[in-house]
């Protein structure tokens, strides 16, 4: 499948894109994971009579919900309203998103036959998403980027194998370790679906993409490298020629930042546990070791993160202090040459009970730092 570059609009001075490529942004860019969602009354209103996964296949709703936080908070990017399980749903996997719980899969994958029977997704099955992207691009201005995304194979596999959200991911790890060959077969089934999902969004015109490996932090680095990294690397390579920033994110990945950076993104997302300057040193050391003789500049990536979402409940004084700390840690990493830029974000998603007024205030503070 060729990525159609003709649909891509020309952004002008988009701070997120400039930061991702190590140019000087006109202001410090910010967006928030889960900026669209239950923290917003206008979201709860439009979603009140429609199920989460149904809304993801309605281009009008998808565009409206994606735009809500952009209108309200003046963030520098919209993130496509969708979910990591959308390509699975589009392919016909029997699953639902249960409110307050997350994705639940009717028939968890346990044996070779189950994995064999996992369907592939065709780009046509994602047509409503592409249509929604077209509507969103018509509403954004030329400095606001639209970020597309997909779940990484490990995180998707965890839902498929466990059958739902998991505290310990024990069935997923059991599959890896008891039957590595079958694990790799599962990864080889999921990886093309992720690539199709991302390429459908890229063809429709998104300006950047993020790969969410939310639960990768449950793995040892050794297992991550052996069972996961090859597939995430394949995904980043498959979308490299789109020429748009690629972001890689997971939670609790302090010990994996270097390995995740080796998958090939321009930007590494960092959760709140590791200061951004420490994260940048880890990333750079890993990339330098993995690519001996590489241009030292190429081993410095852009950073995305990493305010603790709970700080949005801590009052304006604490909010300002923590934002300043995050910004100065990012700036230190850039000054030392260990990072090329900074995109402000939370260390994970906006919590549903967050006061949206505090999110708007956070954006103002970030833009003035
Ligand atoms: O604003 C945005 O960030 C864009 C939308 C977005 C959603 N899901 C919407 C959503 C994104 C980027 C995702 C990705 C996603 N989905 C991830 C990776 C990001 C992360 O949080 O680590 C994961 C692990 C999922 C799986 C998933 N879907 C979970 C854990 C949940 C939450 C369950 C709950 O109710 O708390 C969902 C449902 C979901 N996806 C909601 C939203 C807004 C809540 C649905 C609702 O409003 O009822």
Residue 15 CB contacts under 8 Å (≥ 6 apart), including other chains? 25, 26, 27, 28, 29, 76, 143
Which token pair is 81? 């309203």
What does the alpha-carbon distance between residue 69 and residue 66 come to, in Å, rounded to a whole number?
A: 7
Task: For residue 38, indicate whether it is catalytic.
Answer: yes
What's the pLDDT at 211?
Answer: 98
C-alpha 194, offset from chain centre: 12
What does the alpha-carbon distance between residue 246 and residue 260 come to, in Å, rounded to a whole number?
A: 12
Q: Assess whether pLDDT exceeds 60 at residue 301.
A: yes
Domains and CATH numbers, the chain: 5-14+41-301 (3.20.20.210)
CA contacts within 13 A on the Cβ side of 168: 3
Confidence at 7, pLDDT banded by 50, 70, 90 = low
What does the alpha-carbon distance between residue 137 and residue 8 come to, in Å, rounded to a whole number?
A: 10
User: Is 214 labeled as ligand-binding?
Assistant: yes
What does the alpha-carbon distance between residue 31 and residue 19 come to, in Å, rounded to a whole number?
A: 13
Helix (H) or strand (E) segment spanning residue 208: strand 208-212
Which token pair is 31? 């967006």
pLDDT 10s digits, 149-188:
999 999 999 999 999 999 999 999 999 999 999 999 999 9
From the DSSP assignment, how many helices (H) and strands (E) are in the chain? 16, 9
What's the pLDDT at 2?
Answer: 46
Residue 293 near ligand 1, beta carbon < 6 Å: no
What does the alpha-carbon distance between residue 210 and residue 154 come to, in Å, rounded to a whole number?
A: 15
Task: For residue 231, indicate whether it is catalytic.
Answer: no
Confidence at 5, pLDDT banded by 50, 70, 90 = low
Task: For residue 13, indicate whether it is catalytic.
Answer: no
Q: Assess whether pLDDT exceeds 80 at residue 3.
A: no
Residue 292 near ligand 1, beta carbon < 6 Å: no
Q: Which phi and psi angles does 54 have, rounded to 5°?
A: -65, -40
Which token pair is 347? 């260390």
**Residue of 88, 123, 129 whose CA lies nearest to 105:** 88
Average pLDDT, the chain: 96
What's the pLDDT at 22?
Answer: 97
pLDDT 10s digits, 85-107:
999 999 999 999 999 999 999 99
pLDDT 10s digits, 326-362:
999 999 999 999 999 999 999 999 999 999 999 999 9
In this prediction, residues 37-44 reach a mean pLDDT of 97
pTM score? 0.96
What's the pLDDT at 294?
Answer: 86
Q: Assess whether pLDDT exceeds 60 at residue 288.
A: yes
Residue 288 CB contacts under 8 Å (≥ 6 apart), including other chains? 294, 296, 299
Identify which of 72, 75, 86, 102 to mutate to test ligand 1's pocket (most ligand atoms within 8 A of the CB). Answer: 102
Task: For residue 273, indicate whether it is catalytic.
Answer: no
What does the alpha-carbon distance between residue 108 and residue 123 come to, in Å, rounded to a whole number?
A: 24
Confidence at 1, pLDDT banded by 50, 70, 90 = very low
Residue 184 near ligand 1, beta carbon < 6 Å: no
User: Is 221 labeled as ligand-binding?
Assistant: no
Measured in Å, residue 288 CA sits from the centre of ligand 1 at 34
What does the alpha-carbon distance between residue 28 and residue 259 come to, in Å, rounded to a whole number?
A: 27
- Name the residue with the closest Cα to ligand 1, atom 28: 102
């Amino acid at each position: 499948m060729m990525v159609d570059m003709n649909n891509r609009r020309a952004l002008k001075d988009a701070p997120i894109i400039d930061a991702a490529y190590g140019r000087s942004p006109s202001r410090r860019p910010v967006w928030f994971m889960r900026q669209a969602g239950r923290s917003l009354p206008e979201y709860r209103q439009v979603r009140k009579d429609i199920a989460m996964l149904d809304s993801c296949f309605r281009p009008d709703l998808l565009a409206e919900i994606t735009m809500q936080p952009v209108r309200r908070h003046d963030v520098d990017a919209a993130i496509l309203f969708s979910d990591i399980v959308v390509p699975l749903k589009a392919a016909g996997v029997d699953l639902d998103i249960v409110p307050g719980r997350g994705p639940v899969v009717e028939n968890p994958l346990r044996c070779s036959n189950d994995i064999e029977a996992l369907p592939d997704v065709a780009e046509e099955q994602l047509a409503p998403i592409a249509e929604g992207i077209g509507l969103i691009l018509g509403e954004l201005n030329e400095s606001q980027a639209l970020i597309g995304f997909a779940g990484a194979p490990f995180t998707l596999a965890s839902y498929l194998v466990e059958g739902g959200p998991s505290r310990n991911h024990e069935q997923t790890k059991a599959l890896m370790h008891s039957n590595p060959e079958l694990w790799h077969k599962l990864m080889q089934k999921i990886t093309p679906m992720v690539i199709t999902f991302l390429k459908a969004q890229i063809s429709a015109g998104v300006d950047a993409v993020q790969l969410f490996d939310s639960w990768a932090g449950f793995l040892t680095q050794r297992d991550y490298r052996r069972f996961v990294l090859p597939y995430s690397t394949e995904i980043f390579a498959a979308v490299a020629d789109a020429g748009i920033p690629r972001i890689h994110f997971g939670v609790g990945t302090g010990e994996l930042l270097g390995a995740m950076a080796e998958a090939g993104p321009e930007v590494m997302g960092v959760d709140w546990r590791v200061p951004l300057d420490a994260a940048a040193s880890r990333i750079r050391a890993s990339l330098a070791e993995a690519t001996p003789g590489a241009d030292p500049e190429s081993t410095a990536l852009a950073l995305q993160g990493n305010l603790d979402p709970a700080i949005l409940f801590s009052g304006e004084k604490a909010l300002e202090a923590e934002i300043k700390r995050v910004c100065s840690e990012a700036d230190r990493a850039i000054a030392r040459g260990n990072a090329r830029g900074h995109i402000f974000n939370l260390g994970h998603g906006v919590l549903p009970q967050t006061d949206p007024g505090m999110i708007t205030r956070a954006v103002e503070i970030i833009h003035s730092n």
